[in-house]
Amino acid sequence: MNAGDELIAAFALRQTAERYAFAVDRGDGELFAGQFMPDGVLEAPRGRFAGRDALAGVPAMMRRLYARTHHGVVGMLPAIDGDRATAQTHGYARHYYRDRDGAEHCYEMTIRYEDSFTLAERTWLIAHRRLVLVGDAHYRTGRPPQPAVTTEASS
């Protein structure tokens, strides 16, 4: 593979990782699952998800757990070998939620993905992705507490 082809492939691999992060944050299960091979696998703290049907449920699961998320892809170093590639993808994942008093908190993870990709029909897709937790933190954000929602009984 010449340098130009390798650069194009590296960019395409990065775009797959970016779409993965974007799909989680938007709650888009179809887009999320579409970044994987049909038999693709994600290994993460919340479980092992194999196949597009299982993978499609990951963004909805995150929406049930958190008010919103924000994922960033910080860096990726791929090794490309024909129609296969491996990569270490570094990033962060922020998970926002409110406590009983309405104060917003964030559970932030510094993460590394150990990735393997396959080139399928001119598109790089994730064959296997393993999330490795590098570090984490919990903190209160600067957003003010939300008042409790009350309903008035109708007469």
User: What band does 150 get if pLDDT is binned at 50, 70 and 90?
Assistant: low
- Is 119 part of any domain? yes
What is the total count of domains within the chain?
1
- Is 50 part of any domain? yes
What is the arithmetic mean of pLDDT over 39-48? 96
Q: What is the pLDDT of residue 147?
A: 64
Q: What is the pLDDT of residue 154?
A: 45
Q: Is the pLDDT of residue 44 over 70?
A: yes
User: What band does 155 get if pLDDT is binned at 50, 70 and 90?
Assistant: very low
Owning domain of residue 95? 3-140
- Is 101 part of any domain? yes
User: CATH number of the domain that 85 lies in?
Assistant: 3.10.450.50
Distance CA 83, CA 121 (A): 10
pLDDT per position as a tens digit, 46-90: 999 999 999 999 999 999 999 999 999 999 999 999 999 999 999
More confident residue, 30 or 145: 30
Q: What is the pLDDT of residue 82?
A: 94
- Is 149 part of any domain? no
Does residue 51 come out as left (phi exceeding 0), alpha (psi in the -120 to 50 range) or beta? left
- Is 84 part of any domain? yes
- Is 33 part of any domain? yes
- Is 39 part of any domain? yes
- Is 18 part of any domain? yes
Q: Is the pLDDT of residue 128 over 50?
A: yes
Angle at 23 between CA 144 and CA 69, to 5 degrees: 20
Helices and strands per DSSP (H, E), number in the chain: 4, 6
